[in-house]
Amino acid sequence: METMLTMIVTWLAFTSGLPAIYDHPQIEFVSPEAMHVVRNNGRGSSQAARSALRTGPLDPRDVPPEIEAQYDDRTRTLYVRKEWSGRTPAEVSVLVHEMVHHLQNVAGLKYACLAAREKPAYDAQDRWLSLFGRNLIDEFKLDPMTVLVRTNCMNL
């Protein structure tokens, strides 16, 4: 895993202008249910979230759509679905996306809002997929309008 993360950081520095920082995040493989707990409870930083990561599965009706991975700025932990194997370009692209967030965090880069920092991550992920003749739409059902909404600050 360390070698893969090093390769991703090098590629991101070369293609995105992000800093080549080789202080890798901690990686934790978790269930889909725990991924939602991480996202909804301080991204894993609270004791309640950490406790929930060790509990049994939730009722499937209570689990929202899949989250592939999640990065916690505070603990510098990258949570990946336990089924992740890294055997496909799509799976590796998930690490590419989250490593953008790690580099943004470690470098202290600032954005207008949390959504704005998603744009470089989706751009890098799509560029990675394009190396293999793939894209966000086919691999993750992420059309340009969805990405636009997810990457812009909305003052509602």
* 55 found inside a domain: yes
Q: Which domain holds residue 25?
A: 2-109
Confidence of residue 156 (pLDDT cuts 50, 70, 90): low
Tokens representing residue 74 in the block: 């505070």
Identify the residue with better confidence: 26 or 34: 26
- Give the DSSP H/E element, type plus range, for residue 80: strand 77-81
In this prediction, residue 41 carries a pLDDT of: 63
> Closest by alpha carbon to 83, among 72, 94, 75?
94
Distance of alpha carbon 153 from the chain centroid: 19
> Closest by alpha carbon to 120, among 89, 150, 156?
150
SS3 30: strand
Dist. CA 44–CA 66, nearest whole Å: 17
User: Looking at the predicted structure, is the pLDDT value of residue 10 above 70?
Assistant: yes
From the CA atom positions of the chain, what is the Rg in Å?
Answer: 15
**What would the pLDDT profile of 54-100 be if each residue is shown by its tens digit?**
444 444 444 345 788 999 999 999 999 999 999 999 999 999 999 99
Q: Report, as an integer, the average pLDDT of 110-137.
A: 95
Number of domains in the chain: 1
Q: Report, as an integer, the average pLDDT of 122-126.
A: 96
* 143 found inside a domain: no
The residue behind tokens 């692209």 is 93
Beta-carbon contacts of residue 76 (< 8 Å; ≥ 6 apart): 25, 26, 102, 105, 106
How high does pLDDT run on average in the chain? 85
In this prediction, residue 59 carries a pLDDT of: 43
Dist. CA 115–CA 145, nearest whole Å: 14
The number of beta carbons lying within 10 Å of the beta carbon of residue 90 is 18
* 114 found inside a domain: no
In this prediction, residue 36 carries a pLDDT of: 78
Tally of CA atoms within 13 A in the half-sphere of 28 that contains its CB? 19
In this prediction, residue 65 carries a pLDDT of: 52
Max mean pLDDT range (9-18, 38-47, 50-59)? 9-18
